[in-house]
Structure 1
């Protein structure tokens, strides 16, 4: 027997200061977020206001419309497009007599469903508890006082602790325990990060709006350069398909290689609790040598999505990292591709068209400090020839009387280390 889907009404307030197209997209996206939670959207109500109503989010007159819509469609949930305050939740639940949730809890719920690793699960749980803490009153909890006693009052008068206070204390304790465990995992991630830096491999980080195709870009690169199907990351055409940070080694034919990291996608009004909880994961981007900002070029609102991603990156302190743009899904747009225009590459990751062009632009950025030089390596230092064959691009080799002559393209650091063997023209 199939599980019956929850029916929901969407409610949004279009502030007069907000762009109309931006608001329409926000409501459209709210519907997609609901669908990602397997909720059926049966109706929608919007209102244009100067500011949110402090008591009910919408004006009092709109409450009646929502009540009528709930009755008409037999809906059991009302989803609001902005984060509601504790008092708004309490007032709305009393007026509407049904489940009231906001965009924040909807996103938190999707994250909770998608989280696979222990770190991601902890991050989501901490964010959810932090969201719940000030809203316990509005979450329709039974708030009767604890303890027995008849008309003469509570037996344990000294405690005088309400169920609300107990719940609050339990949540605070749980947040402390989970945060400690999370701190341990974050410390491990930091050790791994330092290790990668020590290996001197450049780090390239994929960032972008959710469902822009970051994982597809990573998988296409792995398939083209590494021929590694078993290293592929999960990809699906849905919001927040990937929450875990994936790191893959992209090998190049000329012994130049880099690490490619795939981070969690962004979304409009991403809950600040989540940004805070996922900070260590998102910081992969802050520590990168280069960002690839993947854009869903087929989305008519793609410019706004770029802006949302930039704002989120700024909020976690990612501002000075060089960035190139991968305008993905170009096959769904009436435009030429693959093509490169400065720091923008138009491509289709799904069709694997434009991945080579993207890689070439990446290479220009991260390998720009490579040096081409002629080195004469004495025969007794044969281990250096092996080193350059493994870690650099040996263009030419010839055998002279005093040793092996190689023309090599190598890292600046290796050049500085071995320039005593350099032969000037």
Structure 2
């Protein structure tokens, strides 16, 4: 026997329309000025056998559909029946003849009115965004309370932002850096359509908002220690902007990059040497210092695969970089301080033969299980002996 589930109810029709609404179909048509076409949805009707065997259920089903025909639906009927029951007129298609009937059925009249207002405002202030509204109408509605402020912010950036502009300098009432950080994804959607290609660095994600739109980013800082007692400066340690250090290098002929802050602070006096605190994977910052190519450059990191990975990255920019205390003898002489390295890195082609051999022994656990020696645990006498070779 046929189930009543085979006979769609008015709620099923609304669900079909709701899916189209959720896809944005109706609002896209509205945004693109597509002429309205009445929406007709077929209704699967009971068969003549259903009428004979389940007459009361069919009668209830028809009553429900007639009740739904309340000014928002127009029903189309067809004759169904036979010799036993006679001919009965059953609804076979539901029509929505006007947009307002559709909005009423879906309960979205207010949303449509708001969308229309935002569409009109956008067309008048930022016509380039009309396509975005048509393609992503519900994204606009998600941000309906904030949409006009988002447009003001994007238009200010379009008209005023330069590579020297910080986000803090965006001069729109109610907009600060926190506002932008909290809305950077939707602002990126807007700006990607509003700005010309030359003002967008698409290699940067929206999370790096200022960099993506070629505005001024937070400066990178480099921390230095002047290890030469004869450097002739009242400062032994300083932190400077990378862009300024690139133009005004220290005079020391030897540069030592170290990763660990405690090690950095404890470095002894070394003639002709300036130390730089690397602070992990900070190689992109050091790449901003072209004068490193003209210095004796040493790198001292943890004696593990990640330390070698940083050395590898530094050598890709400065091939003459020499490693310090990142050798097999140093590792074996400090066995008591080994710890585990949970996630070894992959192959590193810039390592020299000895470094590569030690690196592969670490990766394949030939010396021990995931061996790692942090630089701060290397004995101070060993450090002093290595630095004595730095004398120019």
Same fold, judged at TM 0.5 (above)? no
| Greater percentage in strand | 1
TM-score (norm 1): 0.27
Q: Which has the larger radius of gyration?
A: 2
| Greater percentage in helix | 2
Higher RCO, Cα 8 Å, sep 6+? 1
TM-score (norm 2): 0.29
